[in-house]
Structure 1
Amino acid sequence: MTDTNAIGLHQSSASQLAEKLNALLANYQIFYMNVRGYHWNVKGQQFFELHAKFEELYTDLLTKVDEVAERILTLGHQPLHAYSNYAEIATIREDKNVHDGESCVRGIVTGYQALIELQREILSLASDADDEGTASQASDYIREQEKTIWMLNAYLG
């Protein structure tokens, strides 16, 4: 019996990464719904600009949800798929009844900060496990989201 999975990673490392990736998946799902809610409910002078931007962001988040789940499967584990599980383990909390544009943008910045923090942990674990696939995914997400935070903070002034 071998101690490696189908892609050559040690089973213990793959399990640890899958657990962290499931936490990331949970956070992405909650954050996705928050941004979707901002898109639906934003009001004010910047409605048209923010409504379109929020759609762009939640569409990207939904793509990442799928990519993270597929990475968990690639590691030989099962992605969580119940919102009750997401609510239990996510650090991002539901943001309810937010309507003003500035609060919505601040909620997005906070959400991305939480994702980046978790993705940095995953990047470190993946690097230690010689898991280039997970490390590359986390690194790409971090780079992209850091730029988004910079742009959103510039918007906020």
Structure 2
Amino acid sequence: MEAIPLAEGDLRWVFPDLVDAGPVLDVLRQAAARVERLAGHLGRPGGGLVFDHLPGAPYAGLSGRAEAEELAFDVRVSAPRDPHRHVLTRPPPWRVEGEISVRCDAIRDCGRHEIETVESAHGTPLDAANGVLSVAGWLYDRGTTEPRGSWRRRDVLSRHR
């Protein structure tokens, strides 16, 4: 999987039938700026939004992350999955997800623990881009108003066995 910056990728990887990329790209650039501002606030400037592209695959996702130490704020848009076969299907709808998570602090690290999540489905590329912008704004608000230590205290799986 390659992480390709928004400016260097092709929006048709995420939105295959996109005709006018301008309005969608404008909204996604705003979302990327919010992710970058949050990353800066956390003390780790980030790259905004990147395509999660697997060469040869028909579709790609688009994601952004701002993180500090064990804390991560993620936004992503992806094609839907067939609920029975668990494979990507041709959009629409597009799934937009946001997640605030902390790194596992147990002796056996299991990965990340979700603290807060949001998700939505969107029928058009512009609606999906606006969903990404909305989630990026939500992440920015949560990441700049909540003290960093509060997220760890809310981890119900902290120190699990």
TM-score normalised per structure 2: 0.33
TM-score normalised per structure 1: 0.33
Instruction: Flag the structure with higher helix content.
Output: 1
